[in-house]
Chains A and B, each alone.
Chain A
Amino acid sequence: MGHTHHDDHHHDHDHDHDHSELSETALRVRALESILTEKGLVDPAALDLIVETYETRVGPRNGARVVARAWSDPAYLERLRRDATAAIAELGYTGRQGEHIVAVENTADEHNLVVCTLCSCYPWSVLGLPPVWYKSPPYRSRAVIDPRGVLAEFGLTLASDTRIRVWDSTAEVRYLVIPRRPSGTQGWSEEQLADLVTRDSMIGTGLARDPAEAAA
């Protein structure tokens, strides 16, 4: 495989091994954290808490549960339409970058796609931290002018007459796409349904998984 023992050893370390710019940033961040700690401006336990929150508690499974509930409970869907922030808080999901949420529903005729052309705004409370592609120039530049081209790069081709609605997150309102419920899921539990709801389907760069594909 071309991996020498030396390479493996190198990878074991907290080094950025192939890009001097990255190494420089890694060193600067390390120095910064130590200066901030020395000056009492950060509490290391609070830093750990932040990382742990987004590694273990706040991620796209939260949003998937919201979608599964919306698919299962018409009264919940109605509350989600009226005030998504409050309806999502019912499930215990609140907080940073989820203070003002609007749920947008895909239909047979219309597909929703969310972007932040100006930075990286993303509904953290339900989707966690955004993936790199969401924050990068190719997606941010093209989602608003060539959404079909972008979707094709995710392997998604919509019918040519499907309306595409792009939401540019220019303010503090965060958008959560409610994908269409896959057919063949009558009688499924919310837990089973949530397993069909991918992160990308809640951004609009994908659809909910097909039950047959999910079973495969």
Chain B
Amino acid sequence: MNGAQDLGGMMGFGPVAPEKDEPLFHAPWEKQALAVTLACGSLGAWTIDESRHARETIPPARYLSLSYYEIWTEALLKLLARHGLVSDAEMRAGHALAPAPATRRPVPNAEAMAAILARGGPCDRPAEAPARFAVGDRVRTLNIHPTGHTRLPRYARGKVGTIERVHGAHVFPDTNAHGAGERPQWLYTVVFAGDELWGREADPTLSVSADCWEPYLEPVAEAA
């Protein structure tokens, strides 16, 4: 969706403010926000793609006013309510009002959590069809504006680039975010010249790549 998360090329946010000797957390609640977000994700009620979509559906004015752990927290509450794990009423009451439903995966103890963090969640899958593109192919990204989740940023839509890497088939976020299955698709690194993205005023030394799933791409016929 064309939400506030899709920031590439926007202007007016001011300078980047690197913080000297930045602490890992800026307040104790940020540790809790990280921990509960990861712990709840491990229950398997939603995918990482659904959680990203929960964040990007925060209305733009609000999204841009929140810190990242605030965005995570707001999205987590939405996901917990949607999947029946913690209701809004329970949040208002400040305590449980109903027993927890069965979870898809067991609640991990510390040992199990260590294994979960060390394993991560690989997203490569067996390919269901041969790759349509190869390294060096010219491709154009589609000009799409789905209302659901997508990982094709606005600045890279309808642009011509070159396939630079083929990563194999990966879970397709555009379906997986909405409970429509992993539907693995070939994933490519597509590199774009700066002026293709940003026009004549672009930095002539710039190129930018995005990782694009095959359904985002169409072939470009080579000039004869």
Contact = CB atoms under 8 A, between A and B. Distances in A.
A118 B209 CA distance: 14
Given A46-B113, A102-B165, A162-B205, A39 B52 contact: no
B33 interface: yes
B147 interface: no
**Interface magnitude class on chain B:** 35 or more
B186 to A, nearest CB: 11
**Interface magnitude class on chain A:** 35 or more
A46 B206 contact: no
A100 B167 contact: yes
A44 to B, nearest CB: 9
A186 B149 CA distance: 49
Contact of B38 (A25, A34, A50, A118): A50
A168 B31 CA distance: 27
A70 to B, nearest CB: 19
Contacts of B202: 145
B221 interface: no
Given A43-B110, A166-B207, A36 B36 contact: yes
Interface in A52-98: 53-55, 58-59, 94-98
A145 B84 CA distance: 42
A94 B119 contact: yes
B161 to A, nearest CB: 12
Contacts of B91: 28, 31-32, 35
B73 to A, nearest CB: 6
B118 A95 contact: yes
A153 B197 CA distance: 23
Which of B121, B197, B211 gathers the greatest number of chain A CB atoms within 10 Å? B211
B12 to A, nearest CB: 8
Given A39-B86, A42-B107, A170-B210, A147 B197 contact: no
A171 B213 contact: yes
Interface string A5-49: 000000000101000011001101111111110111111011111
A88 B97 CA distance: 46
B11 A141 contact: yes
Given A138-B17, A170-B151, A50 B203 contact: no
B138 interface: no
B24 A34 contact: no
11 contacts: A21-B65, A26-B29, A40-B100, A40-B107, A133-B19, A139-B16, A145-B155, A164-B205, A165-B208, A166-B207, A171-B213
Given A14-B27, A30-B32, A141-B7, 17 more contacts: A16-B27, A29-B36, A31-B91, A31-B94, A39-B86, A41-B103, A46-B112, A49-B110, A50-B34, A53-B114, A95-B118, A131-B22, A133-B18, A141-B9, A147-B206, A170-B210, A173-B211
Sorted nearest first, the 9 A-B pairs with minimum C-beta distance are A117-B8, A171-B211, A26-B29, A47-B35, A46-B113, A39-B100, A45-B110, A135-B68, A141-B10
Interface of A: 14, 16, 21-22, 25-26, 28-36, 38-43, 45-51, 53-55, 58-59, 94-100, 102, 115, 117-120, 125, 128-129, 131-133, 135-148, 150, 153-154, 160-173, 200, 205
